[in-house]
Amino acid sequence: MNQQVLLDWFDENKRDLPWRKSTPWGVMVSEFMLQQTPVNRVLPMWEQWMERWPSPLELSRAKKSEVITAWGRLGYPRRALRLYEAAGIIARDFHNEVPGDVEQLRSLPGVGEYTAAAIAAFAFEQPTLVLDVNIRRLFARVIDGVEHPTSSPSNIERTIRAKLIPEDGAKWAAATMEFGALICTSKSPSCELCPIKRRCAWRKSGYPKSELVRKSQGWHGTDRQCRGTIVQALRESEKLSAAKLKTMWSDDSQIEEALKTLIADGLIETTGKSYRLAN
């Protein structure tokens, strides 16, 4: 693979995403929001959050209920609480500055292997190994000759991909991620626009089909939808009784279980007679 070709492509074609010109905190917020959520849904929410809470300290001073409400319909509101908890630690233990060390990042709530590597790469221009689905798909096609990667990276894959990072690898993660998002897409890739198509093993082998491992999850009638219905209702009302919440869903037992898990996750709380967003 000719790494410089991809880096040059990135310089000419990268999207003007606001967090790319932001602070490390802005990058961190974007990474939490972008987990399983498309860019177009994140953009307006990120702008609102950064205007309201431009540093970890400001977010740490908010109420949980304010944070959950501001998260809106981004989905997986536990991400909002983990970001809130991480903000408090950063404000207290890191002088209100997002740490650049990967191990320190991984010590924060909600920051796993991928998120720590991404923050280090995008906020601090470190040549870390970032393997999101776009990057993994690009490498799987160009190098391995398969349409889609496995469901999760193996240690062998990590070792091989790490060797691809150029010596000056500050932009490598951003370039390969952008290329996978815009050109080497999951469906209908723009192969005619690909500057490395002559080196692509998948193309050379005739674009063989493989099963798409990452299948979209259903939504209608799921526990996730039930939980989301409850949280949204409590965003719009200060408090609601269990009886009122049950009128919003067809399965009483599913509502009861959702209420239990939402309390366990710290998203809502109860007085025994009614429920509200956690404060």
pLDDT for res 1: 78
What is the pLDDT confidence band of residue 69, given thresholds at 50, 70 and 90? very high
pLDDT for res 176: 97
pLDDT digits (tens, 9 = 90+) for 143-177: 999 999 998 999 999 999 999 999 888 899 999 99
On the question of pLDDT at 191 being above 90, the answer is yes
Q: Which residues span the domain enclosing 268?
A: 223-277
Q: What is the mean pLDDT of residues 7-27?
A: 97
Residue 171 within any structural domain of the chain: no
Residue 120 within any structural domain of the chain: yes
pLDDT for res 272: 86
Residue of 31, 85, 157, 178 marked active site: 31
Q: What angle do CA 34, 35, 37 make, to 5 degrees?
A: 60
On the question of pLDDT at 215 being above 70, the answer is no
pLDDT for res 212: 59
Q: What is the mean pLDDT of residues 213-231?
A: 79
240, 24 Cβ separation under 8 angstroms: no
259, 249 Cβ separation under 8 angstroms: no
Single residue among 124, 159, 192 that ends a domain in this structure:
124
- Find residue 268's DSSP bridge partners: 277
Single residue among 91, 124, 157 that ends a domain in this structure:
124
pLDDT digits (tens, 9 = 90+) for 86-117: 999 999 999 999 999 999 999 999 999 999 99
pLDDT digits (tens, 9 = 90+) for 22-49: 999 999 999 999 998 999 999 999 999 9
Residue 91 within any structural domain of the chain: yes
Residue 25 within any structural domain of the chain: yes
Between these two residues, 168 and 125, which has the higher pLDDT value?
A: 125
69, 279 Cβ separation under 8 angstroms: no
Residue 74 within any structural domain of the chain: yes
CATH assignment at residue 256? 1.10.10.10
Q: What is the mean pLDDT of residues 248-269?
A: 95
Residue 55 within any structural domain of the chain: yes
Structural domain tally of the chain? Answer: 2
Residue 199 within any structural domain of the chain: no
115, 162 Cβ separation under 8 angstroms: no
What is the pLDDT confidence band of residue 138, given thresholds at 50, 70 and 90? very high
Distances (CA, A) of 105 to 31, 83, 111, 261: 13, 12, 7, 27
CATH assignment at residue 54? 1.10.340.30
Name the one residue in this structure whose structure tokens are 């198509």: 197
Phi, psi (degrees; rounded to nearest 5) at 224: -60, -45
On the question of pLDDT at 218 being above 90, the answer is no
Residue 37 within any structural domain of the chain: yes
47 is catalytic: no
Single residue among 100, 124, 148 that ends a domain in this structure:
124
Mean pLDDT score across all residues of the chain: 94
Distance between CA atoms of residues 270 and 246, nearest Å: 15
Type and span of the H or E element at 63 = none
What is the pLDDT confidence band of residue 73, given thresholds at 50, 70 and 90? confident
pTM of the model: 0.88
